[in-house]
Amino acid sequence: MADRAIHFDNVRFGYGDGDFMLRIAKLELGRGERAAVIGPSGSGKTTLLHLAAGIAVPEEGAVRTCGVEISGLDDAARRRFRIRRVGLVFQEFELLDHLSALDNVLLPYRLTRALRLDDAARARAESLLQRTGLGGKGSRRADRLSQGERQRVAVCRALVVEPEVLLADEPTGNLDTDNKGRILDLLLGCADEAGAALLVVTHDRDLLPRFERSFDVRELSG
Ligand code: ADP
Ligand code: MG
């Protein structure tokens, strides 16, 4: 349906080298809905997020995100779409080591002309760093931050464009209990404020009650 934030229909995806195959008969996430994805290592959780973000393209079936059939866009259009409208916290963060924490948060604005780096964007980036406990570390190079700090920068970068769909791949994996709670509060709070849908991959079963629903990626094959 066009009004869904995320909609997978009879999707099949493999990497081409190896025998892994992800099948998703149906997956629907409403606007503003918050769901958690669980499943053992190697079951396809990261692949699922990459399909929703348009980083990976299905061999069969359709993926619609924010009502746009991204599986039908060419590479450049898909990349533009992802940077502008989807916030993705990568499992491996994907920060640029030589850039400061602040410049990493502002990276989406350097990747596409469709976004304008104005005072409001800078203020949002500063405020996100503040809210994640990194207020004093904006000018520090990413390679001089701890793992947990890098993870929080990755979360800020996903949020700075005020995405309609927020995808987070084990965003609390490297954090202590206090910071775990803070990051989850931030993700849920920002998704709420923006009316964004939120899909979070997690191994923390104690976080599951904070989501409206949770599912195992292996249940989706139909
Ligand atoms: P999870 O996030 O649940 O641990 P992934 O989605 O990362 O699982 O991976 C699912 C399967 O796809 C695994 O068997 C993994 O080895 C394989 N895989 C992941 N990325 C690639 C890639 N770029 N090329 C080939 N195989 C991959
Ligand atoms: Mg993964």
Query: For 12-59, how does the pLDDT look when each residue is reduced to its tens digit (9 = 90+)?
Result: 999 988 899 999 999 999 999 999 999 999 999 999 999 999 999 999
Identify the pLDDT of residue 2: 54
Q: Whose CA is nearest to atom 12 of ligand 1?
A: 20
Share of the chain above pLDDT 70, in %: 99
Q: Which of 23, 46, 57 should be mutated for ligand 1, with most atoms under 8 A from CB? A: 46
Query: For 126-170, how does the pLDDT look when each residue is reduced to its tens digit (9 = 90+)?
Result: 999 999 999 999 999 999 999 999 999 999 999 999 999 999 999
Residue with tokens 């399909």: 51
Distances (CA, A) of 123 to 118, 181, 213: 9, 24, 33
Taking domain 4-221, whether its CATH number is 3.40.50.300 is answered by yes
Domain layout of the chain by residue ranges: 4-221
Question: What pTM was computed for the model?
Answer: 0.95
Helix (H, G, I), strand (E, B) or coil at 48: helix
Q: Whose CA is nearest to atom 24 of ligand 1?
A: 15
Q: Point out the ligand 1 atom lying closest to the alpha carbon of residue 40.
A: 3
Ligand 1 contacts CB of residue 41 (under 6 A): yes
Q: Point out the ligand 1 atom lying closest to the alpha carbon of residue 15.
A: 25
DSSP single-letter state for residue 117:
-
Identify the pLDDT of residue 206: 87
